[in-house]
Structure 1
């Protein structure tokens, strides 16, 4: 059986979707998948399912949800296999599944290869692996699940990992000099990540390196106005310096600033601007 977390939560067997429909049962499945092959305690299920308003019957009700999860999966793989998939293990339950059958585990494996390629300056490989990793995403993580405190923490972590993978791919393409080819995609990216200055910087650089300096300057004005309007901030020193270098190059008749087009993320502005700061997923 295969499981998908990077988009709508799905359980798939022989190309047939067999995801539980009941909202609470889906939450139980999501928790088990995010800690696949590790025991998830009953306290974690109760916290996710009810927060600080758990009923006196929380333990038995959780056990009922696990029963319904097994029953739902069992309709696809058989009751014996379902019992093996979702095992009782003190102080809770554990989902037994191979990493290759969870899209999140596949993503982590492929993106680790992209990161290794980037460290070795093999940017064609980096771009290919990063694109392969990003292709595993089919939407917002855990879409369709009514997330509580634990799952919301995981969703935030997954969204940051997706942004990091996207940054890695853009960085590789810029290092390969694919400026013109990246312009349309970067315009879409900054629409989705409007407060991420690093993505804006890559768009500005791609436009400038493609001989479209006036558009690059307008792109800078757009992000400057956005930051002032939304956050009351001026652009970061790095972004301001890029703007100044484009102006100086234009004044002296040069085609491009000396600034590297693929500098790392402008981390100095912090998470408030949408930058990726990798934090471990919350423990269950």
Structure 2
């Protein structure tokens, strides 16, 4: 079974789609897919679908959704000439819940984590060309927001947020690698879009300031700092971090400006806390 969640949900068995069209069964499959090869308790699925006050019919309704998913899986197995296993071997009922058995299939999340991990190791080794390459490969697996077409409940929402945090971390590191390789001018257009989407993300703003300053646009770099500070104070009641203030002062006096530290100007911890949620 092949699973894609870094964008719209797409689940295939034997190359055949088993993704339902109805919203609730799609939501069940999304939760199973994000927890593939692990036992998913029935109570967790019910809470995902109906919250803390499910209807009395929740359990039989869930069983109906599982049956619908198994029918799609069975049809895909037949179409793919798979005779050694049935739908119940793929979407298994186990004590306490269900388990989606992916077999030897691929998962875009696992691929992302593996390739991004190689990029992080290259960053640690100061192999910036390899880091930029691998992190670009990892980010290319994303086709949109994770599970963009799924109505997320209380269990899917934090998992989607975790994936988006992982995406931002990889993006931060890839931009950092590009800055270290002197690609500041090439980054300006991308960073302009990113700070618009994440208007309180300090790490991205720090990288934008560095790219502007190195492109000979010192005034715009300082304006970017003031723009961020205004937004932070107005929306969050916070001042910029000490690291960003230090960067602003370095640009202000036009002193020597070193490449940002690993982690995107050393700001990604604050940025992840303050600026994860995009606008729009």
Same fold (TM over 0.5): yes
CA RMSD of aligned residues (A): 2.2
What is the Cα deviation at residue 202 of structure 1?
0.6
Tell me if structure 1 keeps the 8 A contact 2:147–2:160.
yes
Find the aligned partners of 2:91 and 2:200 in 1 and give their Cα distance.
41
Residue number in structure 1 paired with 2:112: 107
Find the aligned partners of 1:161 and 1:144 in 2 and give their Cα distance.
19
Find the aligned partners of 1:31 and 1:188 in 2 and give their Cα distance.
31
Residue number in structure 1 paired with 2:257: 258
What is the Cα deviation at residue 59 of structure 1?
2.2
Tell me if structure 1 keeps the 8 A contact 2:135–2:171.
yes
Residue number in structure 2 paired with 1:32: 32
Tell me if structure 1 keeps the 8 A contact 2:14–2:77.
no
Tell me if structure 2 keeps the 8 A contact 1:196–1:273.
yes
Find the aligned partners of 2:156 and 2:10 in 1 and give their Cα distance.
16
Consecutive unaligned residues of structure 2, counting only runs of 5 or more, are: none
Is 1:51 the counterpart of 2:43? The answer is: no
What is the Cα deviation at residue 229 of structure 1?
2.4
What is the Cα deviation at residue 40 of structure 1?
1.0
Determine which of 204, 223, 240 is the counterpart of 2:209.
204
Determine which of 189, 193, 198 is the counterpart of 1:193.
198
What is the Cα deviation at residue 261 of structure 1?
2.9
Tell me if structure 2 keeps the 8 A contact 1:42–1:91.
yes
TM-score, length-scaled by structure 2: 0.88
Residue number in structure 1 paired with 2:242: 237
SS of 1:243 mapped into structure 2: helix
Residue number in structure 2 paired with 1:273: 274
**What aligned pairs does 1:172-191 form with structure 2 within 5 A after superposition?**
172-191=177-196
Find the aligned partners of 2:197 and 2:128 in 1 and give their Cα distance.
25
Residue number in structure 2 paired with 1:72: 72
Change (3 A) 1:17 1:163: same
What is the Cα deviation at residue 132 of structure 1?
0.7
Tell me if structure 2 keeps the 8 A contact 1:6–1:137.
yes
Tell me if structure 2 keeps the 8 A contact 1:11–1:19.
yes
CA deviation map 1:182-237 (0-9, x unaligned): 11111111112111111101111111112221221222222222222222333222
Consecutive unaligned residues of structure 1, counting only runs of 5 or more, are: 250-255, 277-284
Change (3 A) 1:134 1:272: same
Residue number in structure 2 paired with 1:157: 162
Find the aligned partners of 2:67 and 2:15 in 1 and give their Cα distance.
24
List 4+ stretches of structure 1 deviating above 6 A: none
Residue number in structure 2 paired with 1:117: 122
SS of 1:101 mapped into structure 2: coil
What is the Cα deviation at residue 66 of structure 1?
0.6
Find the aligned partners of 1:158 and 1:98 in 2 and give their Cα distance.
23
What is the Cα deviation at residue 98 of structure 1?
4.3
SS of 2:155 mapped into structure 1: helix
Deviates more, 1:2-11 or 1:223-232: 223-232
Tell me if structure 2 keeps the 8 A contact 1:207–1:213.
yes
Find the aligned partners of 1:54 and 1:270 in 2 and give their Cα distance.
37
Residue number in structure 1 paired with 2:133: 128
Residue number in structure 2 paired with 1:6: 6
Q: How many residues align?
A: 270
CA deviation map 1:237-259 (0-9, x unaligned): 2212211111212xxxxxx5334
Find the aligned partners of 1:267 and 1:128 in 2 and give their Cα distance.
20
Tell me if structure 1 keeps the 8 A contact 2:209–2:222.
yes
